[in-house]
């Protein structure tokens, strides 16, 4: 079951949206602009931290020009070695907010869900996890093989950790800053960071809830996640956190004292 909202959680003042980007010249401008418009219309105090993870195309120059139209944009470069997880950690290091949403650069995530994350965090939860596979959620144009592997992987995590969350592998989630700090050090250098953070947060006792979200397959560029390269990396992080859950005797659990 989901952990209830913390009664003592303080009101939030600034949302950071961290967006790792590598060779996303075809979509990064629209992703940032649409996000900015939605957050401004909904009066969400925010910053948009886009981390250029060693792009070989025009992504960085596009981000520089975007700053004139999007005053809340803060582009950051991630020096070598590169990797999705390293770019995410770089974004966390540079964010100014007391809450963060991790979002993909390809517009697969819905900007309206970012606002819903912010509102839910402000109810007092430490974490808000989106699921595409609950009532009200959905996917558009999800490749069949990738969908099958996704459901198998998430069922495995659900059983292994005895949790109700059924979309752990999805990167698009929201956290209070103290959760990110409490889950450090983050050791996953690649897409396996998408399970490291939520599993650590759950194991370490942070409160969380789930909301339905929607996902649309990218319309430009190429996917950066290579399934054949990620199996062993996901398993490593999975068992790393599982060992903490059952053998650390609560050494890393959240303390309210």
pTM of the shown model: 0.93
35 in a structural domain? yes
Distance CA 2, CA 131 (A): 13
**What is the distance between the terminal CA atoms of the chain, rounded to a whole angstrom?**
24
CA distance 129 to 117: 8
- For residue 115, with 0-12 CB atoms within 10 Å meaning exposed, 13-18 middle and 19 or more buried, which class applies? buried
Q: In what order do the strands lie in the sheet with 99-102?
A: 73-77, 46-52, 15-21, 99-102, 173-176, 127-131, 208-212
Given a contact cutoff of 8 angstroms between Cβ atoms, the answer to whether 128 and 206 are in contact is no
**Residue 151 domain flag:** yes
**Overall number of domains in the chain:** 1
Residue 31 lies in a domain: yes
Residue 75 structural domain: 15-247
Q: Give the Cα separation of 11 and 120 in Å (integer).
A: 11
Q: Is residue 5 part of a domain?
A: no
d(CA 33, CA 21): 15
CA 166/CA 175 separation, integer angstroms = 18
Does residue 3 fall inside a structural domain?
no
Domain with 60 in it: what CATH number?
A: 3.90.550.10
224 within some domain: yes
Contact between residue 17 and residue 46 where contact means Cβ atoms under 8 Å apart:
yes
Return d(Cα 47, Cα 45) in angstroms, integer. 7
The DSSP code for 73 is E
* pLDDT per residue of the chain (257 residues) written in tens, 0 to 9: 456 665 556 899 999 999 999 999 999 999 999 999 999 999 999 999 999 999 999 999 999 999 999 999 999 999 999 999 999 999 999 999 999 999 999 999 999 999 999 999 999 999 999 999 999 999 999 999 889 999 999 999 999 999 999 999 999 999 999 999 999 999 999 999 999 999 999 999 999 999 999 999 977 766 655 555 568 899 999 999 999 999 997 888 887 65
């Amino acid at each position: 079951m989901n952990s209830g909202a913390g009664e003592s959680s303080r009101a939030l003042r600034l949302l950071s949206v961290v967006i790792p980007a590598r060779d996303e010249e075809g979509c990064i401008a629209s992703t940032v602009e649409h996000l900015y418009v939605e957050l401004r219309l909904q009066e969400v105090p925010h910053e948009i931290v886009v981390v250029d993870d060693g792009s070989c195309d025009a992504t960085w120059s596009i981000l520089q020009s975007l700053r004139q139209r999007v005053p809340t944009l803060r582009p950051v470069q991630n020096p070598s070695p590169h990797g999705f997880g390293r770019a995410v950690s770089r974004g966390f290091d540079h964010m100014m907010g007391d809450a963060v949403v991790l979002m993909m650069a390809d517009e697969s995530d819905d900007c309206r869900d970012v606002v819903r994350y912010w509102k839910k965090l402000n109810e007092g939860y430490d974490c808000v996890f989106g699921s595409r596979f609950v009532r009200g959620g959905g996917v558009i144009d999800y490749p069949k093989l990738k969908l099958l592997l996704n459901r198998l992987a998430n069922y495995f995590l659900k059983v292994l950790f005895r949790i109700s969350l059924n979309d752990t592998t999805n990167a698009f989630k929201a956290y209070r800053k103290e959760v990110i700090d409490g889950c450090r050090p983050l050791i996953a250098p690649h897409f396996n960071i998408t399970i490291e953070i939520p599993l650590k947060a759950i194991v370490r006792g942070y409160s969380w809830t789930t909301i339905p979200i929607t996902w649309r397959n990218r319309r430009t560029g190429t996917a950066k996640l290579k399934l054949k390269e990620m199996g062993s990396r996901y398993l490593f992080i999975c068992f790393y956190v599982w060992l903490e859950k059952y053998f650390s005797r609560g050494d890393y659990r959240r303390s309210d004292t």
